[in-house]
Amino acid sequence: MGKPGRSVVRPAVRRAVFLDRDGTINRARVERGRPYPPRSVDEFVFLPGAIEAIDRLHGAGFMTIVVTNQPDVAIGKQRRDVVDQFHRLLLSRCKLDDIRVCFETDLSGSRCYKPRPGMLEDAAAEHGIDLASSYVVGDRWRDVGAARNAGCYAILIDCGYAEPERYVPHHRVASLAEAADHILAREDSVEED
């Protein structure tokens, strides 16, 4: 604590919004109630309002970082060069600071595979991000789990998938645009306190 009459200068905290990819930024293929990534660039379609939501978050001072599991590469259902094409498209259209990809499967035990927090922790270490002041937005329980395991605020885009909810989000929304609204309103209320 500072001496009476002197203001304490706190270092600026770098914060991020970590974004899942499929079902959050772009449309996921849903089969039997479960989401899957697009198969080709032709199938890669941005969800309504997603690009603008990312721009708003970035403009508000958040780092915007994609964190995505892509196990189809490990099991041979997708080529890595196609995933790279998706990410070049994302970088050309969205104000993103980084894209983190885990190409492992859940069975590998990899620390990067969500709900494990490895991608978030690595990005935080590289970019100097305070995870406790950061958010994760995604459409699956794995995203909520990664947020919880990293100490971030978890926002679930509730798509009604037919899979168990293994972690409870801090907040539920219907879209990335609604998530951005919530984050910005929550930040405004924190600043007023």
Q: Which of 20, 72, 98, 143 is catalytic?
A: 20
Q: Which of 22, 72, 98, 139 is catalytic?
A: 22
Q: CA 116, 117, 121 angle in degrees (round to 5)?
A: 155
181 a catalytic residue? no
81 a catalytic residue? no
Per-residue buried b or exposed e for 109-141, using 16+ beta carbons within 10 Å of the residue's own CB: ebebbbbbbbbbbebbeeeebebebbbbbbbbb
Nearest to 22 by CA among 81, 126, 99: 99
Q: How many CA atoms lie within 13 Å of 34's alpha carbon, on the beta-carbon side?
A: 5
Catalytic residue positions?
Answer: 20, 22
